Amino acid sequence: MISLLGRGLVLAALFFAGTGCLAGFVAGSRRNQRAWEWARNSAYGFAASMIAANLLMVYALVTHDFSVSYVAEVGALRTPLYFTIVSLWASLNGSILFWGGILGIYTALAVWSLGDRHREYAPWAVHVLMGIAIFFAFLVASIANPFAPVLNPLSDGPGPNPLLQNHWLMAVHPPMLYLGYVGMSVPFSLICAALLAGRLEAGWMVPVRRWMLIPWMFLTVGINLGGWWSYAVLGWGGAWAWDPVENASFLPWLTGTAFLHSAMVLQRTGKLRDWTLVLGMSTFLLTLLGTFMTRSGVFNSVHSFTQSNIGPVFLGFIGVIFTYSVVLLALRSHKLDEEATATDQRIGQRTDGRSGILSREFMILLQNATFTVFTFMVLLGTTFPLLAEALAERRLSVGEPYFDMFALPLGLTLVFLMGVGPALPWGSQAPEAAVKHFIPGLVLGGVLAGIFGALGYTKPMTLLALFLIGFTLYSNLYEFIEPVRARMRARSEGPGVAALKVWSKAHRRFGGHIAHYGVLMAVFSLALTKGYRDETEVVLNTGEVTQFHGFDITFAGGRWTKEEHRDAVMARFEVEGVGAFEPRLNYYAGKMGGNPIYTPAVYTMPTGDLYFSILQLDEPSPGNWTVIVRLIDQPYQTWLWWSAPLMALGTLITLIPARRQNRKPEAA
Amino acid sequence: MSKVNWKILVIGLGVTLPLVMLLATGFGNDPKAVPDARTGDPAPHIALADLQGNTWSLEALSGTPVLVNFWSTWCGPCKYEHPMLLQAAEAYSGVQFLGVIYADEPKAVSRFMLKPPYKGLMDRLTSKDIDYPNLPDPSGRAAIDYGVGGVPESFFIDRAGQIVYKSTGPLSPEVARRELDRIMRK
């Protein structure tokens, strides 16, 4: 019954996607009101049927309806409810359905938020968005059908992959990434809409940039949570390994971040138009590449789903979308040129049109160039093993040394530009005034590096990173606080009132600064964990004590526990003056049964983590346990986890719609 | 068509199409499989001294099935699989187990062997007169000859001196049993 209903909903979604795509085209090319209403209603229809199909699958999972193929694949009676719901994205077919559901949510929200404004663009946007929707609905309806009926259903199933059941982060990391990946289809559609409509006004760039910010925020959080999950579960004490699929999520983040900045230049000066569009489109294309990498079986990774025949179809789609984007841009960008004159003139009133080297737009240009090199190098490192195999029939992998080689200098360059950029005004400025801005920042950088140098962090690259962080922190704080002080002076208001007035009026800019603080936190953590992580492996018998980084650690023995869905053996470590920690090995029944999932324990302090990871745990004689444990001292690790909420907060503040103002808008 | 922006078209397609083609080349591969060109080949010669100074060579063992396990004390998974290997050496006394110590200090190895659970299991083997020598490979010669990409790796060699199976990563008891049975039979 559920199989039939689910299939019906998916087919309905496919139908609505088809009519929406077609009606969008008619409405866009003929300016036809009825077609536009069709397109919009079809978009809502697609959203409703896809979301309903997802809810139905959750229902099937929760009620353990093993006559549905996907439930038979990942469901199990012993799995707790919470993980049963999460199983929606535990395996390939469910994850594609979930993808479609999120596309539905985004579609509905995007169409609703555009409303009846932007009538020249909106139908084209729906046309493209529904074109993408056709593909995903087709996948769910055909080769990735999770609703296929099982003729002789069993009474129980194998349960989801143990790695997914092992930690609560697995309930949040994948959906955040999906929200990031899928959401990129909206700015892509809006950009295509501008090209199809043959015009790009400053007014249309507002929704384009906003719709980029939303998935960018989810992507940021998703990547960060993925690192946290890896740290909390995989037991090697690291957050990032330059694994192909990690890279796949990082690539759109790089181009998306570059886009968010170059779009500001475009909105203000009319410059970098084609480039900004290329960045925006590439971001979506790179998310498709990321999806392909996890689902095609072409790359070996901790994220790989099992091999399936979805790969070639997906690659075909990627080929079509890539070609479509390039051809669309090549054929239509001249149309934008003709249209742009008016826009340029309007913008010409704000600046004199020329930009000096010491201007914010020039720094954004440099930042864009750095991001582009970064993207290229990561893409090269990720695909190089394939290239080597295709051309030289050699199997190799590109590891951390390659990526670290460029990530460090490029990352630090970006931090530096993040400090210089906001300190410079748009247009041109006399160098003396700019340099005056920089001096206190350089001093703060020196102080920060000095403090950590005195604490023993003396590696040159770490000190350079800390220096740049201090510099950038100052220049972003200055931009935050100086306008408040100026207002206090000018209007003799108190700091609270002045801050509220200034920050609420130009909240988008201040949101950007807050996001910058988040980035600085992440860089700060990375600079210290990279250079000063220390680890050791010790063998301890029950009652034995070991010293590590000033901690007295006693091994108090081990014990077995039985939980609803797993067995676990844990080792108890008592840290003097702190408490007890129990890293464990979890054993799940089912597919991967027998192989333990190692789960570390972490003592988190602001200045660093103490990390326990069991390598082996035995009980040679009753009551007498032997453990081989890896102890890791990970300085300032927790700062990395807190960077994402800060970046998300900054983005959310930026997303708050501006109040209508009668006066001329401030230069924000 | 004079309005076509050829620059975008050529650069765009020049970047994206080769990328798509490159991705397509990956379909035939099983990403989890590690090539083992050595399977089916005669096992490369090994002649190394164990920690006590006795020399062991594959030639001298001809006619005996052999399991060569590359490992080191700094490798967690190696230690994880070791108790199982020692138990297997006891159960399959007809197979000669050889541990080749990869990129490690002999001192660290000796120290490791004095600790439980290694020591207890090793003593049991000795009491049953089963040799399980561990051979330091200071030059890494044996590892290079066997194309070892990372430890642990195990090579199952039959009586004829041919590599029948290569395992990468910690051995599971099932695979170990299956392959040990196979080289015993051959």
Going by C-alpha positions, the residue among A279, A464, A474, A286 that lies closest to residue A365 is A279
Out of A274, A307, A326, the one facing B30 most closely (by C-beta) is: A307
Q: Say how far apart CA A328 and CA A200 lie, in whole Å.
A: 14
First and final C-alpha spacing in chain A: 57
Taking only residues 35 to 64 of chain B, the set having a beta carbon closer than 8 angstroms to any beta carbon of chain A reads: 35
Does A537 sit within 8 Å of B29, measured CB to CB? no
Query: Identity (one letter) of the amino acid at A611?
Result: Y
A277 alpha-carbon distance from chain centroid: 20
Q: Answer yes or no: is B130 within a domain.
A: yes
What number is the average pLDDT over the span A622-645?
Answer: 93
Contact present, A381 and A402 (Cβ < 8 Å): yes
Q: Is the pLDDT of residue B104 over 70?
A: yes
Interface test with B, best of A292, A308, A322 (most B CBs within 10 A): A322
* A290-294: long-range pairs with CB below 8 Å, 24+: A290/A181, A290/A245, A290/A248, A290/A249, A290/A251, A290/A252, A291/A99, A291/A181, A292/A318, A292/B23, A293/A244, A293/A245, A293/A248, A294/A245, A294/A248
What number is the average pLDDT over the span A160-171?
Answer: 80
Please give the C-alpha separations between residue A50 and each of A23, A183, A273, in angstroms, as whole numbers: 19, 15, 35
Q: Say how far apart CA A310 and CA A453 lie, in whole Å.
A: 53
| A383 Cβ under 8 Å from any chain B Cβ | yes
B107 alpha-carbon distance from chain centroid: 22
Structure confidence by residue, pLDDT tens digits, B32-89: 455 555 677 788 888 888 888 888 888 888 889 999 999 888 777 787 788 888 889 9
Res A164: pLDDT: 76
Q: In terms of residue numbers, what domain contains B95? A: 36-185
**Residue A161 Ramachandran class (φ > 0 left, ψ -120 to 50 alpha, else beta):** beta
Structure tokens at B183: 């080289």
Angstroms from B102 CA to nearest CA on chain A = 18
Overall residue count recorded for chain A in this entry: 668
Contact present, A315 and A305 (Cβ < 8 Å): no
Q: Say how far apart CA B29 and CA B25 lie, in whole Å.
A: 8
Of A460 and A238, more confident: A460
Structure tokens at A147: 């609703």
Greatest extent of chain B over all pairs of C-alpha atoms, in Å: 89
Q: Answer yes or no: is B3 within a domain.
A: no
Contact present, B171 and B155 (Cβ < 8 Å): no
Angstroms from A637 CA to nearest CA on chain B = 23
Among residues of chain A, what percentage have pLDDT more than 70?
A: 91
In chain A, residues with a C-beta closer than 8 Å to the C-beta of B19 are: 322, 383
Q: Answer yes or no: is B21 within a domain.
A: no
Does A630 sit within 8 Å of B31, measured CB to CB? no
Phi, psi of A552 (to 5 degrees): -95, 115
Q: Is the pLDDT of residue A203 over 80?
A: yes
Interface test with A, best of B1, B2, B19, B23 (most A CBs within 10 A): B23
Res B29: pLDDT: 58
* DSSP structure class, residue A317: H
Question: Looking at the DSSP assignment, which residues form a beta bridge with residue A616?
Answer: A628
Query: Identity (one letter) of the amino acid at A657?
Result: P
Contact present, A121 and A204 (Cβ < 8 Å): yes
In chain A, residues with a C-beta closer than 8 Å to the C-beta of B172 are: 594-595
Question: Looking at the DSSP assignment, which residues form a beta bridge with residue B71?
Answer: B101
Structure confidence by residue, pLDDT tens digits, A317-373: 999 999 999 999 999 888 887 766 555 544 434 445 566 777 888 899 999 999 999
Which residue shows structure tokens 């590590």?
Answer: A548
Least confident of A31-40, A115-124, A300-309, A584-593: A300-309
First and final C-alpha spacing in chain B: 72
Out of B6, B22, B83, the one facing A386 most closely (by C-beta) is: B22
Q: Answer yes or no: is B1 within a domain.
A: no
Could you please report the per-residue DSSP string of A34-56?
Answer: HHHHHHHHHHHHHHHHHHHHHHH
Is the peptide bond preceding residue B152 cis, with omega within 30 degrees of 0?
A: yes
Of A662 and A131, more confident: A131
Q: Answer yes or no: is B4 within a domain.
A: no
Of A165 and A470, more confident: A470
Average pLDDT in chain A? 87
In chain B, residues with a C-beta closer than 8 Å to the C-beta of A322 are: 16-17, 19-20
Interface test with B, best of A195, A300, A540, A546 (most B CBs within 10 A): A300
| A372 Cβ under 8 Å from any chain B Cβ | no
Res A51: pLDDT: 97
Does A301 sit within 8 Å of B8, measured CB to CB? no
Number of structural domains (chain B) is 1
Structure confidence by residue, pLDDT tens digits, B114-173: 877 778 888 888 888 888 888 888 877 888 888 887 788 899 999 988 888 888 878 888
Q: Say how far apart CA A222 and CA A173 lie, in whole Å.
A: 5
Structure tokens at B26: 């990956």
* DSSP structure class, residue A590: S
Interface test with A, best of B2, B9, B15, B16 (most A CBs within 10 A): B16
Q: Answer yes or no: is B87 within a domain.
A: yes
A404 alpha-carbon distance from chain centroid: 20
Q: Which residues contact A601 (CB under 8 A, 6 or more apart)?
A: A573, A581, A582, A583, A584, A611, A612
* Residue A490 buriedness (CB in 10 A; 0-12 / 13-18 / 19+): exposed
Sign (positive or negative) of CA dihedral B157, B163, B164, B166: positive
CATH number of the domain enclosing B98: 3.40.30.10
pLDDT band at A667 (very low <50, low <70, confident <90, very high): very low
Please calculate the CA angle A529-A533-A534 and round it to the nearest 5 degrees: 170
Burial letters A97-114, b for 16+ CB under 10 A, else e: bbbbbbbbbbbbebbeeb
**Cβ–Cβ contacts within 10 Å for residue B36, how many?**
18
Q: Say how far apart CA A217 and CA A515 lie, in whole Å.
A: 10
Here the ipTM equals 0.76
Question: Looking at the DSSP assignment, which residues form a beta bridge with residue A633?
Answer: A534, A610
Does B35 sit within 8 Å of A395, measured CB to CB? yes
Out of B3, B16, B25, the one facing A386 most closely (by C-beta) is: B25
Going by C-alpha positions, the residue among B123, B126, B125, B66 that lies closest to residue B100 is B66
Structure confidence by residue, pLDDT tens digits, A380-405: 988 888 887 777 766 666 777 888 88
Angstroms from A222 CA to nearest CA on chain B = 25
Angstroms from B119 CA to nearest CA on chain A = 11
Contact present, A230 and A241 (Cβ < 8 Å): yes
Q: Answer yes or no: is B6 within a domain.
A: no
In chain A, residues with a C-beta closer than 8 Å to the C-beta of B171 are: none
Coil vs helix vs strand at A543: coil
Interface test with A, best of B1, B8, B36, B73 (most A CBs within 10 A): B8
Angstroms from B91 CA to nearest CA on chain A = 19
Q: Say how far apart CA A370 and CA A379 lie, in whole Å.
A: 14
Taking only residues 304 to 323 of chain A, the set having a beta carbon closer than 8 angstroms to any beta carbon of chain B reads: 304, 307, 311-312, 315, 318-319, 322-323
Q: Answer yes or no: is B29 within a domain.
A: no
Angstroms from B134 CA to nearest CA on chain A = 20
What number is the average pLDDT over the span A567-584?
Answer: 92
